[in-house]
Amino acid sequence: MLSHAQATVRSSDSNIKKGIEFMRMLRKTAAMLAVLTALTIATGAEAKSSCDDIDNRCKQPLSTGITMSYMEFGPKSGTPVILIHGLTDSVRSWSTTIPFLLRFDRKLHIFAVDLRGHGGSTMPPRRLCATEPESCFEVKDFADDVTAFMKAKKINSTFLVGHSLGTFVTQEIALDSPSMVRGAVLVATAAKATDNAVLRDYVLNEPVEGSWKKALEARGKRYPIDFYDEIPASADKDVEKWLAANWDVDPLAPDSFLRPYLPETAHVRLGTWIGATMALLATDHTERLKKLSVPTFVIWGSQDNIFPASDQEQVRQLLTEAAKRRGGQNFWKQYGMIPLPASGAQESDVGHNVQWGAPEAVAKDIVSFIETGKPLDARPAAKKTSDGFTIVEVKTPEGFVGLK
């Protein structure tokens, strides 16, 4: 049996050992936390955004009266980039590009927004817009929403990346508020959309003012006032088949990317289809682009049938004049090697929806433009494979055109 004194000593020794072990554990924990903190600082990692779920997008009320749906990625302290989609599209248009952007530059703070009347964003009020939808879907209206979003998010200046309709929105912001734009990337663009054959004949005339109008008028609907809140699916129960064959289509894009598009596009309100298409057909930035004062980079697909090669010579001329005025340089880059075929449809190379078919290449060029002020040299192009297409890099004497 231990004496009281012996027991006290042994108990004291035991407590000392436990105390030493506890201090060692604290030091190990502190060391681990220091390593984790260093890794976080080194990688620029921050808390995961709660706005990165495409099926549960965040909402931002704007001073313009619109509630904008959006997604957000990357560190809040990073370089801001706003991605703007095309006509009847949504943030989904950039969903395969965003992971590559984050991979190539983890310091980017990326926002992808749904324009008014698109995706999860609200429509402008029916009482003000239903009789003349185009008056509420002008390019300036879209631009005002984006700048209101920037102000709500306290973004003083950003890189803007637009596709198709989104390029005209980007142009408008860069022309009207150049201090808010660090650089503009225009994917599938033109100087104007007035009298554009595809928008006029293959969207507005048919099906919007053709078969869809006929179907709804047969049900007693008045055009355009009663069409405002209707959707294409209410005019044509098989509209997803038409969309798959004529609108949400790209032979280079995987079915897994295109399939979710169909129900989403089928539910874009006809007020948007009518208003945005008519407003775009009235948009002409030809004279204004000569005074564009922000660094600009254009990406164009060789089989773009909406803004074809005939539009690109004008784009290059205008951006050359703008660069001279600014005392800087703009860039124009072609994707694809094969020109638009006689069918007038994209068949075998990069087309209008460049980032759908070549998301990795587009991301590389965007990051290069942001980091170095110019795109990469190699030209991405499509190569036929046994199960579809893949994108390869083709060495050409002139990978991109410097406009100065």
* 172, 139 Cβ separation under 8 angstroms: yes
Spatial separation of the C-alpha atoms in residues 271 and 137, rounded to whole Å? 9
At 396 the pLDDT is 81
Residue 359 is assigned to a structural domain of this protein: yes
Q: What is the pLDDT of residues 38-52, one digit of tens each?
A: 333 333 445 456 899
Spatial separation of the C-alpha atoms in residues 122 and 229, rounded to whole Å? 11
Number of domains in the chain: 2
Same domain flag for 5 and 154: no
| Region of poorest pLDDT, from 16-20, 30-34, 157-161, 374-378 | 30-34
Distance of CA 320 to the CA centre of its chain: 25
User: Where does the pLDDT of residue 35 fall: very low under 50, low under 70, confident under 90, or very high at 90 and above?
Assistant: very low
At 29 the pLDDT is 39
Same domain flag for 21 and 84: no
Tokens of 237: 């129960």
Spatial separation of the C-alpha atoms in residues 123 and 136, rounded to whole Å? 9
At 363 the pLDDT is 98
Same domain flag for 361 and 227: yes
Judge whether residue 6 has pLDDT over 50.
Answer: no
Largest interatomic CA distance in the chain: 105
* Average pLDDT rounded to a whole number, residues 236-264: 95
What is the residue type of 255? D
- Strand partners for 332: 298, 401
Spatial separation of the C-alpha atoms in residues 190 and 321, rounded to whole Å? 15
Residue 159 is assigned to a structural domain of this protein: yes
Q: What is the pLDDT of residues 153-196, one digit of tens each?
A: 999 999 999 999 999 999 999 999 999 999 999 999 999 999 99
Percentage with pLDDT > 90 across the chain? 85
- Strand partners for 302: none
Same domain flag for 17 and 93: no
* 391, 361 Cβ separation under 8 angstroms: yes
CB half-sphere exposure, 229, CA atoms < 13 A: 7
Residue 48 is assigned to a structural domain of this protein: no
Compute the Cα dihedral for 382, 171, 267, 269 and give only its sign.
negative
Same domain flag for 21 and 108: no
Judge whether residue 216 has pLDDT over 60.
Answer: yes
Domain extent, residue 7, equals 1-43
Provide the whole-model pTM: 0.88
Residue 352 is assigned to a structural domain of this protein: yes
What is the residue type of 70? Y
Judge whether residue 16 has pLDDT over 70.
Answer: no
3-state secondary structure the chain: CCCHHHHHHHHHHHHHHHHHHHHHHHHHHHHHHHHHHHHHHHHCCCCCCCCCCCCCCEEEECCCCCEEEEEEECCCCCEEEEEECCCCCCHHHHCCCHHHHHHHCCCEEEEEECCCCCCCCCCCCHHHHCCCHHHHCCHHHHHHHHHHHHHHCCCCCEEEEEECHHHHHHHHHHHHCHHHEEEEEEECCCCECCCCHHHHHHHHHHHHHHHHHHHHHCCCCCCCCCCCCCCHHHHCCCHHHHHHHHCCCCCCCCHHHHCCHHHHHHCCCHHHHHHHHHHHHCCECHHHHCCCCCCEEEEEECECCCCCHHHHHHHHHHHHHHHHHHCCCEEEEEECCCCCCCCCCCCCCCECCHHHHCHHHHHHHHHHHHHHCCCCCCEEEEEEECCEEEEEEECCCCCCEEEC
Q: Between β-strands 330-335 and 401-403, what pairing exists: parallel, antiparallel or unpaired?
A: antiparallel
Q: What is the pLDDT of residues 65-98, one digit of tens each?
A: 999 999 999 999 999 999 999 999 999 999 999 9
Same domain flag for 11 and 67: no
What is the residue type of 122? T
User: Where does the pLDDT of residue 395 fall: very low under 50, low under 70, confident under 90, or very high at 90 and above?
Assistant: confident
Same domain flag for 79 and 13: no
At 13 the pLDDT is 45
Residue 50 is assigned to a structural domain of this protein: no
Same domain flag for 178 and 287: yes
At 375 the pLDDT is 97
Residue 52 is assigned to a structural domain of this protein: no
Check which CATH number belongs to the domain holding 322 and give it.
Answer: 3.40.50.1820
Question: Taking the chain, what is the end-to-end CA distance rounded to the nearest angstrom?
Answer: 97
At 147 the pLDDT is 98
Same domain flag for 175 and 311: yes
Same domain flag for 185 and 101: yes
Tell me the average pLDDT of the chain.
90
Same domain flag for 187 and 284: yes
User: Where does the pLDDT of residue 399 fall: very low under 50, low under 70, confident under 90, or very high at 90 and above?
Assistant: confident
Residue 51 is assigned to a structural domain of this protein: no
Same domain flag for 230 and 354: yes
Residue 49 is assigned to a structural domain of this protein: no
At 398 the pLDDT is 74
Q: What is the pLDDT of residues 106-144, one digit of tens each?
A: 999 999 999 999 999 999 999 999 999 999 999 999 999
At 8 the pLDDT is 39
